[in-house]
A = this chain, B = another copy of it.
Amino acid sequence: MAKWKRSARLIDMLKQLLARPHQLIPLTYFAQKYSSAKSSISEDLAIIDEVMTREGYGLLETVTGAAGGVRYIPKLSLDQAKAVLDDLCVQLSNPERILPGGFLYMSDLLGNIDLLEQIGHIWATVFSEEKIDVIMTVETKGIPLAYAVAYYLRAPVVIVRNEYRVTEGSVVTVNTVSGSSRRMKQLSLSRRSLPEGSRVLIIDDFMKAGGTILGMMELLSEFKAKVVGVGVMVDSPANVKLVDSYVSLVKVTDVDIKERKIRVELGNFLDLGGKKYEKN
């Protein structure tokens, strides 16, 4: 096998690193594929890391030793994150979103691939130092967000169902009161979907009192799983918050149906996620 030129190596390595964020790739794999010395591979990685860091794409993390290698850690810079979420605030405050009952139409945003990818990147930055085994969400609108994060954190997704489905096999079910629909809701999770002791990141699109999130936490305790983080896209004021610790991206503080005005501001991701952002 012919030796690869540096330019070709850089392209191939970057492609592979980007395709598998948070996964360790041994340097020997690259050295063998390119018939190159490990020292050349290390130089290549330094070049890639320099550009990635400078352009705010993330960074490469090198692990030394026999089981060592390199992994891509996606990190969006604070400035980029703020730009994405400022734009989300503007979009959410469009009065055409107001539905009867003061609900907001958001399905277009949850279908927008560019936005989802950026939100996934932000959450992956905020939660980058947690060891996460599984990302959990509830059908239906949380699903696009959960997968957006999962692509960056490279963890599998489990979906909590609102109704029993035969295709889930045996399930564990809890009851919860949804704040938005003000009715009892069942949350079911397939028995075989989650190994005991899993470390779980909960993701959802919208949170008011947090009844659904609390229900998911109760469900997880049935699986002896540990909640390592909660992320919601849109936070909304409530008299009582049932969940203490969560990361919200934006907050809808007021929907005035009569005046047709929506007030939206940045969520608490800066406070809670600030530590992770300082490093960039």
Does A113 sit at the interface, judged by CB under 8 A?
yes
Task: Return the 6 tightest CB-CB contacts between A and B, nearest first.
Answer: A111-B156, A11-B51, A111-B157, A139-B140, A143-B143, A8-B51
A15 interfacial contact with B, CB 8 Å: yes
Q: List chain B residues, Cβ under 8 A from A108.
A: 156, 192-193
Chain B residue nearest to A153 (CB atoms) is B113
Contact in complex: B166, A101 (CB < 8 Å): yes
A85 to chain B, nearest CB (A): 19
* A131-178 contacts to B (CB < 8 Å): 139-141, 143-144, 147-148, 150-151, 154-159, 161, 166-169
Q: Provide the bound-state CA to CA distance between A170 and B24, in Å.
A: 48
Which residues of the other chain, B, contact A157 by a CB distance below 8 angstroms? Answer: 111, 113, 144
7 intermolecular pairs with C-beta atoms under 8 Å apart: A7-B47, A11-B51, A15-B55, A19-B117, A100-B166, A103-B166, A103-B167
Does A112 belong to the interface (CB within 8 Å)? yes
Main secondary structure of the interface of A (DSSP, over half): helix
Q: Write out the residue numbers on chain B whose beta carbons fall within 8 Å of the beta carbon of A154.
A: 113
Establish whether residues B10 and A11, one from each chain, have CB atoms under 8 Å apart when the complex forms: yes
Task: Report the separation of the CA atoms of residues A158 and B140 in the bound assembly, to the nearest whole angstrom.
Answer: 12
Judge whether A50 is part of the interface by a CB distance below 8 angstroms.
yes
| Residues of A95-116 whose CB lies within 8 A of B | 99-101, 103-108, 110-113, 116
| Max chain B C-beta neighbours (<10 A), residue from A47, A156, A190 | A156
Report the separation of the CA atoms of residues A100 and B190 in the bound assembly, to the nearest whole angstrom.
14
Whether a CB of chain B sits under 8 angstroms from the CB of A57 is yes
CB of A52 closer than 8 Å to a CB of B: yes
B-contacting residues, A8-37, CB 8 Å: 8, 10-12, 14-15, 18-19
Q: Measured between alpha carbons, how far is A14 from B13 in the docked complex, in Å?
A: 11
Task: Tell yes or no: A70 within 8 A of B by CB.
Answer: no
With A155-B113, A168-B105 known to touch, is A11 a contact of B143 (CB < 8 Å)? Answer: no
The answer to whether A105 touches B166 (Cβ under 8 A) is: no
Is A48 on the interface with B (CB-CB < 8 A)? yes
Chain B residues in 8 Å Cβ range of A147: 113, 116, 144, 147-148
A19 neighbours in B (Cβ, 8 Å): 117
Q: Which of B48, B104, B110, B166 contacts A11 (CB 8 A)?
A: B48
Q: When chains A and B are docked, how far (Å) is the Cα of A103 from the Cα of B167?
A: 6
A107 touches B7 (CB 8 A): no
- A167's closest neighbor in chain B, by CB? B103
